[in-house]
Structure 1
Amino acid sequence: MILPFVHRPLSRYVNTMVENGLVLDRMLEPAPPAGFLSKAPEYADASEFPRLLVLQAIRI
């Protein structure tokens, strides 16, 4: 299983939302689901450093 990793500063996402009239409503950094690390041990550090970022925004 290949999970692509793209690093961008959080400010890039947040500032883009603000510049387009959005307000950050919620931010989640979900942990890998149960059993994922046993199937993909190469992502062991994903439990410490989140690989997924979910941003929810609302238009003002």
Structure 2
Amino acid sequence: MEPGVILPFVHRPLSRYVNTMVENGLVLDRMLEPAPPAGFLSKAPEYADASEFPRLLVLQAIRI
């Protein structure tokens, strides 16, 4: 991570995302929880728990 770069993390219930998609005619097609890239934790050890508890969520949906 570059010096001065800040990644804010905001916790929201998973139901908020899924229900919003459903209410707008979308169907969940894929869910990904990407791990930190190789070498990231050696540069930013304060994110060590991110290897056990994903910090990112990617939802892919299709419109029905």
TM-score normalised to structure 1 length: 0.96
Q: Mark the runs of 5 or more structure 2 residues left unpaired by the alignment.
A: none
Return the offset for 1:56.
0.0
Describe the superposition over 1:11-31 as per-residue Cα deviations: whole angstroms up to 9, x where unpaired.
Answer: 000000000000000000010
- Matches of 2:7 and 2:56, distance apart in 1: 10
Percentage of identical aligned residues? 98
Structure 1 segments, 4+ long, off by >3 Å, are: none
Describe the superposition over 1:15-58 as per-residue Cα deviations: whole angstroms up to 9, x where unpaired.
Answer: 00000000000000010000000111110000000000000000
TM-score normalised to structure 2 length: 0.90
Corresponding residue pairs, total: 60
- Matches of 2:6 and 2:48, distance apart in 1: 13
In structure 1, the partner of 2:31 is: 27
Return the offset for 1:3.
1.7
RMSD (Å), alpha carbons: 0.7
Q: Mark the runs of 5 or more structure 1 residues left unpaired by the alignment.
A: none
